[in-house]
Chains A and B, each alone.
Chain A
Amino acid sequence: MRLSVRRSGVLALMAALALVLRGSEASAQDSSLTVRIGLTYAAGTKPGVLVLPVNGANGDSVRAIMQRDLDFSDRVNVIATESLVMDSTADGSRGKFNYPLYARLGAAAVIQATMTAAGLHVAVHDVRTQKVERVKDFPVAASPLSPDWRQQVHAISDVIEFWVTGSRGMSASRILYSSGGRIWQVDSDGANATTVSATGGMAQLYPAWHPKATHFAYVVMTNEGTRVRVEELGNGSASRTLSARSGSVNTSPVFSPDGETILYAHAMEAGTDLYAVSVTGSESPRRITVSRGKVAISPSYSPDGRRIVFVTDRAGGSGLYLADADGTNAEVLTPYNFGDRSQRTDPSWSPDGRLIAFQAETDGKTQIYSVSPRDKGSPKQYTSEGRNEDPSWAPDSRHLVFTSNRTGAWQLWVLDTETGRTRQLTRAPSGAKAGAWSPRLIVH
């Protein structure tokens, strides 16, 4: 049993819960919020949340998924309890809830989920006021325990997280990655790893999500060069290949936030530049950088699509530059110091626009950092164990997926940038690299 919130803290949390749970549910986009709705809690503490046992077929799975989602959110303390103790009506008087017991366990909120014919009925109890503060019926249409069913439960977890903390969760999302020469996807909690790309090429690399998660782009490496392929998710036969010029390198594709454009790097003998091309392929690629024999590669869009960050070695060692989306008004983001051999590469702009994560070398090992594109201050280092590369932001702009060899093999890991907590996401026999986190797949 984990009681991480002390009694005095619990009282404060309860008071806060009473205030915040009266707010209305926010719209789908967190960025549109102007008033904080969720539970207010002191910095460094997290509200305790108790998920009651869920009766009915697959109720145990629903509860386990919700508990894990809330735990992986890193915003609440999930209170693990014995089912017998925490049976929602096990206080000796059926129909009543044992709020004093929940309070003693450190719970500020209690989640009560009930299976219904159409899906799931969810109620959130405020332990301090001993009242139900939130109720909603969620449809769950997919076949029980199927990947789609799990995603729908994840989406409910994200709403619960929003009710409790004011921040929507990221559990209803997936991560694309490269493993064994193919592109795979895995749920945000590490479940349902499966290949998603059509066969072809000796290696498939660097997947990127379309903002609507209907398509994805990736790089196919062949003996004749590398190509960018755009593919419909779940329909490998519906794909299109960009830039079929032999012998050239086409790499690091990324979709613009409006989903209309693909930006990628095209390497010729004269250098490597960024090119923009319509997703529909209705026009020729247009070059947006002029590297003059140098390298411009690995672009990432700002959330509004008006700016990009990319890697270039035009000033010496490879570093990060900002520019308008058409390549103009380029400026240095990470200054290059003469003689510095530390590469700063693989930038990822957070969905909320506040930070740009990237990788850089420290003591000969690559580590994950972030820097603010606004004040361009000193980068903040997130990792130090093993070599860590290729960060990609979760839709909550708090978690990162990255590649690490800390266990001896390259696998994907998830980092909470607030607490530094990490968890291993993949255990692919042939290793995993180049994780790309999707947007939220279901938003209630």
Chain B
Amino acid sequence: MKRMHRGMALALIAAVFVSGCRRNPETVPTPTDTTPPTPQPTCDAACMQRRADSIAAANAERDRLAREAADREKAAATARSRATLEATIYFDYDAAEIRGDAKAALDAKLPILRANSGLQIRISGHADERGSDQYNDALGQQRAAAAKRYLTDNGIDGSRISIVSFGEQRPATTGSDESAWSKNRRAEFEITSGQIAPP
């Protein structure tokens, strides 16, 4: 009995010692999985089809997004071409001569007209409110004709371009100062037939 008490004491001391030396937190024992392992299922034909369909759908979506991005870019490029082609040019007071800034705007229209031979356009000439209404009718015609002449002098077929004058009857902006007048002395460009092909 005495020997048994000594053994228990030693065991207790040992336990205390071991306990005192441990620095790590006490871990919770992981329960042992006693479920028998499930056998891995085999992918049958339907499964394979679903997998292929999924992959194809992902690829199609990727392609669709790519196409849409390309379409957007083409549409943007077409819109830029249209905006360039339809960009208004402006004139000095009581003048129909093509100004330097107007030449640059007209030059930018040339490659678009050359690349889209089916396009037909109309140029409308306008005047500011000053001076005679009737004289401004003629001045608008002169401005439209000057713009057409610049394009035809640079190789565009004149039969693709019609002109009209609205004189001072269709102002771009109202007002009776130079700011308004300068915006109304202009020639506008409008596509009357054909489409701009994407670049």
Contact = CB atoms under 8 A, between A and B. Distances in A.
A205 interface: yes
Interface in B152-190: 162-167, 169
B134 A297 contact: yes
B141 A272 contact: yes
Interface in A238-284: 246-249, 251-252, 265, 267-272
Contact of A346 (B134, B142, B166, B169): B134
A252 B134 contact: yes
Contacts of B130: 361, 366
Interface string B85-105: 000000001100000000000
A221 interface: yes
B162 A247 contact: yes
B126 interface: no
A298 B162 contact: no
Contacts of B137: 226, 249, 251-252, 265, 267, 297
A225 interface: yes
Given A269-B148, A317-B94, A247 B164 contact: yes
Interface string A331-372: 000000000010101100000000000010100001000000
A249 B141 contact: yes
A311 interface: yes
A318 interface: yes
Interface string B114-147: 0000000000000000111111011111100100
A224 B140 CA distance: 14
B163 A269 contact: yes
B134 A265 contact: yes
B138 A267 contact: yes
A443 B168 CA distance: 39
B132 A434 contact: no
Contacts, number: 94
B149 interface: yes
A218 to B, nearest CB: 12
Interface residues of B, number: 24
A134 B139 CA distance: 55
Contact of A246 (B135, B162, B166): B162
B134 A341 contact: no
Interface string A384-421: 00000110000000000000000000000000000000
A62 interface: no
A224 B163 CA distance: 9
30 contacts: A205-B133, A205-B169, A206-B133, A221-B166, A223-B164, A246-B162, A247-B162, A247-B164, A248-B141, A249-B140, A249-B165, A252-B134, A265-B134, A265-B138, A267-B137, A267-B138, A267-B142, A269-B145, A295-B135, A295-B138, A298-B134, A311-B135, A317-B94, A343-B131, A343-B132, A345-B132, A346-B134, A346-B135, A433-B133, A434-B133
Given A269-B148, A389-B133, A390-B133, 13 more contacts: A203-B169, A206-B133, A221-B169, A226-B165, A248-B141, A267-B137, A267-B138, A269-B141, A269-B149, A297-B134, A311-B134, A343-B132, A346-B135
Cβ-closest 6 pairs across A and B: A345-B132, A267-B141, A269-B145, A272-B138, A252-B134, A295-B138
Interface of B: 93-94, 130-135, 137-142, 145, 148-149, 162-167, 169
